[in-house]
Amino acid sequence: MSSALDRLKNLTNKISSYETARKENLNILKKLYTQTGIDKKVENFSDLFDFKAINLSGASLLSESLGEIKKGKYLQVLAISYDKNAAQKSKNTSLAYFGKVENVDSALKDIVVEFIIRYRFEKSFITLENYYDMIGTFSTNE
């Protein structure tokens, strides 16, 4: 019994920790949304999550090389939208353009990279909630 109770306590702590991290992430993400100037292209913060994805050119988003610049490239935040009824299904939209990555202040580059990672963190929760709701529509065959 104690083992099951310990597992439940650990799970509860983990879920609580995720929710705390998510709330903190959203608060920081809103600040970065303004600092990066993306608020000028996307007026409502919540509209960011209507995009299928947001990508970055000019700097790495891989964990082993996070933030490393890609020489000769331009630092740019790109949003990907998807319209299944359009002739061209996906569309890239520039949300922020900062110029040649070598010329961008490294603090600004770090803010842009952080924005993308924090956006993806929140987007993953939204996706998880969506799939959770979807599987709720199925009856279990036990």
pLDDT in tens, 113-126: 999 999 999 999 99
- Do residues 52 and 127 touch, judged by C-beta distance below 8 A? no
Within a domain: 37: yes
More confident residue, 14 or 71: 71
Indicate whether 141 belongs to any domain: no
What is the C-alpha end-to-end distance of the chain, expressed in Å? 25
What range defines the domain where residue 70 resides? Answer: 3-136
Phi, psi (deg, nearest 5) at residue 98 = -120, 0
The yes-or-no verdict on residue 1 having pLDDT over 70 is no
Using DSSP's 3-state secondary structure scheme, residue 56 falls into strand
Q: Is residue 12 part of a domain?
A: yes
DSSP tally for the chain: helices H, then strands E: 2, 3
pLDDT band at 61 (very low <50, low <70, confident <90, very high): very high
Is residue 61 domain-resident?
Answer: yes
Note whether 69 and 139 are within 8 A (CB).
Answer: no
Q: Is residue 118 part of a domain?
A: yes
Strand partners, 97: 76
CB neighbours of 38 closer than 8 A, spacing ≥ 6? Answer: 48, 77, 95, 96, 115
Which pLDDT tens digit goes with each residue over 66-121?
Answer: 999 999 999 999 999 987 777 777 889 999 999 999 999 999 999 999 999 999 99
Asked if residue 66 belongs to a domain, the reply is yes
Lowest mean pLDDT among 14-23, 38-47, 60-69: 14-23
132 is a domain residue:
yes
Whether 34 maps to a domain, the answer reads: yes
Phi, psi of 99 (to 5 degrees): 95, -170
pTM reported for the whole predicted model = 0.84
- Kindly indicate the confidence band of residue 141, based on its pLDDT and cuts at 50, 70 and 90: low
Total domains in the fold of the chain: 1
